[in-house]
Amino acid sequence: MLINILMIIIGIVILLAFESFFSTLCAFSVAIIIALTLLEKWDWKKWSIVVFFTSIFIDIILYRSLGVTLLSISLSVLTLYTLFLVIPKKQILLSYIPYFLSVLLFYILLWVLSSFLEDGVFEVFSFQVFLNYLFKSLLSTILIFVVNILNSRFRTEKRISI
Amino acid sequence: MVLGSNNTTKDRNWLPVLVTFVLSIFLIIISSIGWSSGLRSALSYILDPIYITSSNIAISINEYISTLTNISEFRNEYNQMKMELAQYKIDIVNYQSLKNENYDLKTQLELQNSEYVYVYGKILDHMESESLIINVGLQDGVTKGDIAVLGSTFIGIVVECNQYTSSVRLPISKSSFLETYIISADETDSRNILSRAVINGSSDGIRIENIGMNSGVKNGDIVIVNDSKVGDNLVLGHIVGLSEDPATTTRSGYVSPVIDYYDLLNLFIRLKDVD
């Protein structure tokens, strides 16, 4: 239990380092990829606690209003579940469309909510910004796909070794 | 039973959404009423080093990537700067040339004999180290036999004149023979003529001969050109390498010119015929 907690704390620190790094480099979010990847792999309580604290830390280090990241993650997860109601999970290519759309929504919400909660004004949403988010969402979806494949392979090997 | 368990799991799937949504609204409210500032400052004290380290690495990588992507632009800028640098170097050389010209003109104005008319000329070439080609000629009023001077220093005699250029024979030329006199360089001595002498060019330098044995001339004394071809007293240089042979009746040596002819850029031609 204690080891698990320590590992989670170290994991959060590493995640914060990566989030800061990619945020400075290209405004890319690693947190949403991790959150969506762990959504179905962890218990909901554990997931909620880790996401809650991580999002607070991200808001603090990136000077966002507290709760913006968590609200964006929450709404993008809501979108993901809603889309999974109409798109079957087992079809590989189709099942990643909800991931793509939920990550896209996450970026749009971050863009809109950050400025709205700080200044009370909605930021101008240009086509160039949208294209940028489309590209980032696509990249995030590919990464989620790769992580899921790697994870399933590790599990398979474990089963074989057992 | 199994179906019931699946339904429960599906219902619980929505719980993280609900929990995180409620918590986020709670956080937004806390943040908007300003209660989060204490928490923010306390946590930022711990978290800022992580952010700063990561951001610094990201900035370094970003700079490196932007340098790589803009390398063609940098190359163009570098070439442009090289051109500008070359232009500046040319300007500096021009400035140096103007400075020299200005200095020579000032010297000439201070020292010139007002009885004469001078033409300002630039040296185009040194011909076999014995004569100079200058950029003034017949069109500027220069004629054969005119004297090239710089201030009160003798440089040479114009021996050839074309329309736009002239040739000045230096004292170092083997064809150059001039009468001179020698005065003491010592400030305490009287400025009387110590001895008369003759100079002529040689492969070793400007040779000076026929110096009286008992004239008291010594190395460093000043040689003044005083020849009918020159028509005025003009400084040539200092005596060096004076012979010490007691068996001869005269002494000889060499003249070290006041001006280094190879470094000369400008000179003045003293016109013989003012009209």
pLDDT digits (tens, 9 = 90+) for A123-132: 777 888 889 9
A114, A64 in Cβ contact below 8 A?
A: yes
Strand, coil or helix: A67:
coil
Strand partners, B199: B178, B208
**C-alpha gyration radius of chain B:** 43
| CA–CA min distance A43, chain B (Å) | 9
**What's the whole-number average pLDDT of chain A?**
86
Q: Which of A30-34, B133-137, B172-176: highest mean pLDDT?
A: A30-34
Q: How confident is the model at residue B191 (pLDDT cuts 50, 70, 90)?
A: low
The pLDDT of residue B9 is 54
The per-residue pLDDT for range B208-261, each reduced to its tens digit, is 998 888 888 888 889 999 888 887 788 899 999 888 887 788 888 999 998 888
Nearest to B24 among A47, A61, A71 (CB): A71
Q: Which residues contact residue B193 at a Cβ distance below 8 angstroms, ignoring those fewer than 6 apart?
A: B181, B182, B183
Q: How confident is the model at residue B112 (pLDDT cuts 50, 70, 90)?
A: low
Ramachandran area for residue A148 (φ above 0: left; ψ -120 to 50: alpha; else beta): alpha
Interface of A with B in 65-104 (CB under 8 A): 65-68, 70-71, 73-75, 77-78, 81
Strand partners, B202: B205
| CA–CA min distance B22, chain A (Å) | 9
What ipTM, to 2 d.p.?
0.84
Averaged pLDDT for residues A106-114: 90
CB < 8 Å to B30, chain A: 66-67
A117 touching B (Cβ < 8 Å) = yes
The pLDDT of residue A42 is 85
The pLDDT of residue A14 is 93
DSSP strand pairing (B166-169 vs B131-134): antiparallel
DSSP strand pairing (B147-150 vs B131-134): unpaired
* In the predicted structure, residue A158 carries a pLDDT above the cut 60: no
The per-residue pLDDT for range B206-220, each reduced to its tens digit, is 999 988 888 888 888
CB < 8 Å to B54, chain A: 16-18, 20-21, 24
| CA–CA min distance A34, chain B (Å) | 15
B168, B131 in Cβ contact below 8 A?
A: yes
Averaged pLDDT for residues B256-271: 85
CB < 8 Å to A44, chain B: 12-13, 15-16, 19
For chain B, what's the residue count? Answer: 275
* In the predicted structure, residue A72 carries a pLDDT above the cut 90: yes
B192 vs A10: which has the higher pLDDT = A10
Structure tokens at A72: 């964006």
DSSP strand pairing (B193-202 vs B177-183): antiparallel
Residue of A50, A57, A70, A79 to mutate when probing chain B, most B C-beta within 10 A: A70
Residue B88 is which amino acid? Y
Interface of A with B in 119-158 (CB under 8 A): none
| CA–CA min distance B70, chain A (Å) | 17
A39 touching B (Cβ < 8 Å) = yes
Nearest to A48 among B16, B40, B51 (CB): B16
User: For the whole model, what pTM was predicted?
Assistant: 0.56
The 3-state secondary structure of chain B reads CHHHHHHHHHHHHCHHHHHHHHHHHHHHHHHHHCCCHHHHHHHHHHHHHHHHHHHHHHHHHHHHHHHHHCHHHHHHHHHHHHHHHHHHHHHHHHHHHHHHHHHHHHHHHHHCCCCCEEEEEEEEEEECCCEEEECCCHHHCCCCCCEEEECCEEEEEEEEECCCCEEEECCCCCCCEEEEEEECCCCCCCCCEEEEEEEEEECCEEEEEEEECCCCCCCCCEEEECCCCCCCCEEEEEEECCCCCCCCCEEEEEEEECCCCCCCCEEEEEECCCC
Architecture of domain B112-275: Beta Barrel (2.40)
